[in-house]
Amino acid sequence: MKWLHKDLLDVSQLSKSEVMSIFETAGRFQELQERPVKKVPTLKGRSVILFFAEPSTRTKTSFDVAGKRLSADTFSLAKSSSSLTKGETLKDTALTLQAMAPDAIVIRHWCSGAARFLANRLDCAIINAGDGRHAHPTQALLDSFTLHQEWGDLAGKTILILGDIAHSRVARSNVILLNKLGAKVRLCAPRTLLPHGVKHWPVKVYSDLNEASKGVDAVMCLRLQLERQKDGLLPDLREYSRTFGLGQRHIDLANPDVKIMHPGPMNRGVEIASDLADCADSLVLDQVSSGVVTRMALLFLYMTRKGEE
């Protein structure tokens, strides 16, 4: 498939056939993970700036590993080491980065729309690694790729997204992508952790985790964003864990071989029982592995594209 997109801002930009093309490319890179020398010269001589204005372990490292395995030169820039701390605007930071002629910028920023802001001003590829509450397209792609590796077709499968939906860009992008791939999506959260306007989303919303768990094929737990709970959205963590923490009794209500997922980092014993995170049907570490090959596929497609969007 000829790749036409210059930037990845959210999964809503992608057609189903383009998503499958990403999966196919990621699948080809998976074989590389098992070689003694995990490197190919595909992007030799090209450069990627990892511009993370918010903390990140998994996503940033995953992109760094992905770029290096394709022989691209990767350069990291964090807020604490950038001129953003000196009052420089995002526009000026971006134009400064562009003057260094990178082939792609991977950006994580606390402001929704930051990736689009850069995409509208810079010539290089912009890949959104999470912007505010808006979107996290590469997490959604790696989540669905992980399930695709397990099931093949996702059409008709029922997937429950559990937890702090209101603050989650992961949930927003996953709802869009899972629907695009034909899955049925359920959400379960306390009323205070559901986003405004959720009744218009293509999902079923539950407030009872027992009901939400019945007959599901996979559960995606979300991290309870403790740093964002200062507004008194929850009575206390113990109550949250008792009511909305995923436990074995919920798994017993799901379909056999239900898959358990979490984008990390996990609050074990809060949103998920620790033994479930490590059980045979947990895909948590598979998601991490999928993240590398999915991001390799994205860097390859966006940095070698030809043609106009």
**Residue 236 banded pLDDT, cuts 50, 70, 90:** confident
Q: What gap in Å lies between CA 24 and CA 148, rounded to an integer?
A: 10
Q: What is the pLDDT of residues 108-118, one digit of tens each?
A: 999 999 999 99
SS3 call for 77? strand
pLDDT above 80 for 246:
yes
Q: What is the pLDDT of residues 2-44, one digit of tens each?
A: 898 999 999 999 999 999 999 999 999 999 988 999 999 999 9
**Residue 229 banded pLDDT, cuts 50, 70, 90:** low
pLDDT above 60 for 309:
no
Closest C-alpha to 156, from 172, 179, 134 = 179
Interior angle at CA 288, CA 302 and CA 205, nearest 5? 90
Q: Which pLDDT score is estimated for 137? A: 98
Q: Please indicate whether residue 41 or residue 228 has the higher confidence score (pLDDT).
A: 41
Q: Which pLDDT score is estimated for 308? A: 52
| Pair of tokens at residue 117 | 């802001």
Q: Which pLDDT score is estimated for 85? A: 65
**Residue 79 banded pLDDT, cuts 50, 70, 90:** low
Q: What's this model's pTM, rounded to 2 decimal places?
A: 0.93
Longest CA span, the chain: 56
pLDDT above 80 for 51:
yes
